[in-house]
Amino acid sequence: MRYELDLFGVLVPSLVLWSVIAFVLARIVSKLIARAGLYRQIWHPALFDFTLYVCLVAGLTFASTEFFS
């Protein structure tokens, strides 16, 4: 895994990239869950959204170390 990305001469940690991608994926999944009406079955929707985001960030960083290094 590359630990830093060069964006126009600025070194940015790669975790920022995975965090942004995970945020977009979490929003998409959240919209799908809301459209399906599954939030009625979830005790605390905000906590669920946060844990979904954390799991996606962890999964993306793990996948990046396994497949992109």
32-60 pLDDT, tens digit per residue, is 999 999 999 999 999 999 999 999 999 99
Element housing 46 (H / E)? helix 45-67
Could you tell me the residue ranges of all domains in the chain?
4-67
Nearest to 48, CA basis, from 23, 69, 26: 26
Mean pLDDT value across the chain: 91
Give pLDDT, residue 59.
Answer: 95
Place of tokens 């996948």: 63
Give pLDDT, residue 23.
Answer: 98
C-alpha pair distances (Å), 25 with each of 1, 44, 62? 21, 20, 16
Any alpha helices (H) in 11-44, and if so which ranges?
A: 14-36
Residue 2 has pLDDT above 70, yes or no: no
Can you give the pTM of this predicted structure? 0.84
State the Cα angle at 17 between 56 and 53, rounded to 5°. 20
Give pLDDT, residue 68.
Answer: 67
